[in-house]
Structure 1
Amino acid sequence: MEDQVNRLVEKTWAKFQSIPSSERFLIAVSGIPGSGKTTLASTVTKRLNALYSGLHGKTSTPPIAGFVPMDGYHLTRAQLSAMPDPKHAHDRRGAEFTFDGDAFVALVRRVREPLTPESQTLYAPSFDHAVKDPVQDDIPIEPTTRILVFEGNYLSLDKEPWRTAAELMDELWFVDVDFETARKRLVPRHVKAGIAPTEEEADKRVRENDLVNGEEIVNKRLEVHEVIVSTDDEGWKPEAQ
């Protein structure tokens, strides 16, 4: 996995050199729940910033790369409760229909606008796991942030509005993992996060929700630029994302 990460950082940096200073370079990292996509996306972002700082010989340089997880585009619990079948909506939270894809596309369109001296900081939502709802305008995207790494389950899904978002990206990466490995990662994560009180109930949720979502993610995947095989290397341990 470490070799794959290094190659992706080098590839991204090389491609970034060729774009005009008024543009951003956008990457979407997708994969099933438990694939390790969050760790990949955040690690690539950190290493791009370290590379940029190293080239400039100082650590005070504004970060060139930013990381935007899709978690902030979860529909709120109140929105789920307002659906025709609230119980089903809450039980299936994490499925494609429980995200505000249109709002995500709107953000991507905004960061695609040309950068000028007048460009303002943009904001993306985050997700507060303590209250289990999004937090609006919590992730700043500065005008100096010219590489953006987005991460989420559905960023290469061949279905609107995700298809539109994918078309706005420069690179689509997919983190591939077998379903049993994903299940083993997700069960303890759900217990730790308070999503399920016991491993037995966590396993039930994983099988009836997360891996069901995973089937859609895999079966309806767009063509991508990179497929990264998720492994638990000693030097690079993916989080259960």
Structure 2
Amino acid sequence: MEEQVDRLVKKAWDKFQETPKSKRLMIAVSGIPGSGKTTLAAKVASRLNDLWHKGSPGLASDPGIAIFLPMDGYHLTRAQLSAMPDPNTAHARRGAAFTFDAPAFLELVRKLREPICPETGTIYAPSFDHAVKDPVPDDIPIATEARIVVFEGNYLSLGKDEWREAAELMDELWFVDVEEEVARQRLIKRHVKSGVASSEEDAAKRADENDLINGKEIIQCKLNVHEVVQSKEDREWQPEAQGIDKERDT
């Protein structure tokens, strides 16, 4: 697995060297729930910043050149789900494509795609508060210095509506492929550990009736991507090994 990460980091770094200073390199990492896409995106962003700091030593507070940007913040709020024609289904299926604010996500991508100039200011993206289960507006600052954006989310290579438009604005589309049963077992463990499910039986029901249904749409409607990464079951690929073990709806 580490060999795949090393290769992708090198590819991104080499591509960044060819990117004009007025432009951002934008990479979208997608995959079904439980695929390991969060781990991959976070690792790549971190290692790109390590390369940046080695080549440009400066203040310890320098955040680096790359930012990891999950799409969790584009969940519709619980209030918005409750206002839908079928609120019970909307809440039960939270995490499906229709429960995200795709137009707002596309707007962010378009802003980041605009040329960087002296007048360009910090752009803000929403985060997701897992304690209250709702987005936090304008919580993630994307400075002009953040010239590599590593997006992460289920639907970043989905060939539908605004998702397709956003994907077409990316420089690289990476898809993390995983066997369904491997993803299912990861999801069961995650849901129990996070407290979202009270038992493995409940966690399996959540995985089968929501997560993996979403996964089928993600695979069936996937655009052509630049890279397919094989997610395997090894310790270094586990979220908890990266300090990012938390319940995720994406």
Question: Is the shorter-chain TM-score for this pair beyond 0.5, marking a shared fold?
Answer: yes
Letter matched to residue 189 of structure 1: R
Name the structure 1 match of 2:173.
Answer: 172
- 1:221-240: per-residue Cα shift (whole Å, max 9, x none)? 00000000001334443467
Name the structure 2 match of 1:6.
Answer: 6
**Distance in 1 separating the partners of 2:73 and 2:105:** 9
What SS does the corresponding residue of 1:148 show, helix, strand or coil?
A: strand
Deviation at 1:117, TM superposition (A): 1.4
Letter matched to residue 79 of structure 1: Q
Q: Does 1:64 align with 2:70?
A: no
**Distance in 2 separating the partners of 1:235 and 1:82:** 42
Q: Answer with 129-138 or 229-238: which moved more.
A: 229-238
**Distance in 2 separating the partners of 1:19 and 1:82:** 44
Letter matched to residue 98 of structure 1: T
Name the structure 2 match of 1:51.
Answer: 51
Name the structure 2 match of 1:103.
Answer: 104
**Distance in 2 separating the partners of 1:20 and 1:49:** 18
**Distance in 2 separating the partners of 1:193 and 1:60:** 32
Name the structure 2 match of 1:216.
Answer: 217
Does the Cα contact within 8 Å between 2:41 and 2:151 map onto a contact in 1?
yes
Name the structure 2 match of 1:142.
Answer: 143
**Distance in 1 separating the partners of 2:19 and 2:123:** 21
Deviation at 1:136, TM superposition (A): 0.6
**CA gap 1:96/1:235 in 2 versus in 1, 3 angstroms:** closer
Name the structure 2 match of 1:16.
Answer: 16
Correspondence list, 1:19-30, <5 A: 19-30=19-30
Letter matched to residue 96 of structure 1: A
**Distance in 1 separating the partners of 2:238 and 2:199:** 24
Name the structure 1 match of 2:194.
Answer: 193
Letter matched to residue 24 of structure 2: R
| TM-score, L = length of structure 1 | 0.97
Q: Answer with 183-192 or 68-77: which moved more.
A: 183-192
Deviation at 1:167, TM superposition (A): 0.4
Gaps of at least 5 residues in structure 1 are none
Does the Cα contact within 8 Å between 1:129 and 1:193 map onto a contact in 2?
no
What SS does the corresponding residue of 1:161 show, helix, strand or coil?
A: helix
Does the Cα contact within 8 Å between 1:2 and 1:233 map onto a contact in 2?
no
Letter matched to residue 47 of structure 1: R
**Distance in 2 separating the partners of 1:228 and 1:238:** 16
Gaps of at least 5 residues in structure 2 are none
Letter matched to residue 107 of structure 1: L
| TM-score, L = length of structure 2 | 0.93
- 1:192-231: per-residue Cα shift (whole Å, max 9, x none)? 2232222111110100100000000011100000000001
**Distance in 2 separating the partners of 1:116 and 1:40:** 30
Name the structure 1 match of 2:74.
Answer: 73
**Distance in 2 separating the partners of 1:72 and 1:209:** 19
Does the Cα contact within 8 Å between 1:73 and 1:134 map onto a contact in 2?
yes
* RMSD of aligned alpha carbons: 1.3
Deviation at 1:116, TM superposition (A): 1.0
Does the Cα contact within 8 Å between 1:40 and 1:238 map onto a contact in 2?
no
Does the Cα contact within 8 Å between 1:191 and 1:202 map onto a contact in 2?
yes
Name the structure 1 match of 2:115.
Answer: 114
**CA gap 1:235/1:186 in 2 versus in 1, 3 angstroms:** closer
What SS does the corresponding residue of 1:136 show, helix, strand or coil?
A: strand
What SS does the corresponding residue of 1:131 show, helix, strand or coil?
A: coil
Deviation at 1:119, TM superposition (A): 1.1
Does the Cα contact within 8 Å between 1:232 and 1:238 map onto a contact in 2?
no
What SS does the corresponding residue of 1:223 show, helix, strand or coil?
A: coil
**Distance in 1 separating the partners of 2:236 and 2:81:** 40
**Distance in 2 separating the partners of 1:34 and 1:157:** 17
What SS does the corresponding residue of 1:181 show, helix, strand or coil?
A: helix
Name the structure 2 match of 1:152.
Answer: 153
